[in-house]
Amino acid sequence: MNFDGTFEIDDVTAEEVWLALSDPYMIKTALPGCEFLVRVDEDDVDFERLRAENGDKDPPILPEARPKEVADRAFVEGATYATLIELSVGSVKPSFESEVTITERNFPRMSASGEGSAASSSFEMSAWMDLEETENGVVVEWAAEADVFGRIAQLGSRMINPVANRIVNQFFDSVADRLKEVGDADEQQTGENLRNRVRELF
């Protein structure tokens, strides 16, 4: 199955979007059903343990987080991340134990591949995104290729496409909301000059 799309975020810079989408905690917060997303080095990932350790961990993300802090914990090319995502597809609610490797991270392009499995279903995917700055803000162009197996696959694209669209839209809406606050925080001159501090990181 192939999915792709573009998403426009107004009044932001490419650097801000890049930083936001590089932050595992931003992804965790914005992605519906995501219980944790953490870097792992081991081959045999214990998802139960990771959930116990990380399920409640919610450090500040942009705009509250300090940009330097976010940059320090950003995705690393070649590193693997474990995530637990609960989906709701029709009557099926699988919890996918997934491992995703960042295969490329080179501003403004990032790509990843991974796989996940639940009790009755599994997937294998690869995805990329690219940022382009426009007059009004930033356009995120993205695409994903996924092979789905098991019970979910039997529901067919009739069920999967709407779910995928819902998740993607919620995700980008949520990221856009956070980034809008980055701009707002800037305009209101509250605290530090966030926009400049993000830019300085590049």
- Candidates 148, 168, 179, 194; binder of another protein (CB under 8 A) is 148
**HEC profile of 14-40:** HHHHHHHHCCHHHHHHHCCCEEEEEEE
Nearer to another protein by Cβ, of 65 and 152: the residue is 152
d(CA 92, CA 151): 8
Q: Is 125 helix (H, G, I), strand (E, B) or coil?
A: strand
The window from 27-35, 142-150, 168-176, 189-197 that contacts another protein (CB under 8 A) reads 142-150
- Candidates 55, 60, 156, 191; binder of another protein (CB under 8 A) is 156
Q: Is 175 helix (H, G, I), strand (E, B) or coil?
A: helix
- What six digits make up the tokens of 120? 């009755």
- Candidates 153, 163, 180, 199; binder of another protein (CB under 8 A) is 153
Sheet holding 121-133, edge to edge: 2-10, 137-150, 121-133, 109-117, 95-106, 80-86, 34-40
Nearest Cα neighbor of 33 from 75, 87, 78, 77 is 87
163 is an interface residue for another protein by CB under 8 A: no
The window from 10-18, 80-88, 156-164, 177-185 that contacts another protein (CB under 8 A) reads 156-164
Q: How far is CA 95 from the centre of its chain?
A: 17
121 is an interface residue for another protein by CB under 8 A: yes
155 is an interface residue for another protein by CB under 8 A: yes
157 is an interface residue for another protein by CB under 8 A: yes
Residue 49 burial class via C-beta count within 10 angstroms: exposed 0-12, middle 13-18, buried 19 and up: exposed
Nearer to another protein by Cβ, of 98 and 121: the residue is 121
The window from 2-10, 19-27, 121-129, 184-192 that contacts another protein (CB under 8 A) reads 121-129
Residues in a beta bridge with 112: 102, 127
Q: Least CB distance from residue 156 to another protein, whole Å?
A: 4
Nearer to another protein by Cβ, of 49 and 158: the residue is 158
191 is an interface residue for another protein by CB under 8 A: no
- Candidates 42, 49, 158, 189; binder of another protein (CB under 8 A) is 158
Which chain residues interact with another protein by CB under 8 A? 119-122, 124, 147-151, 153-158
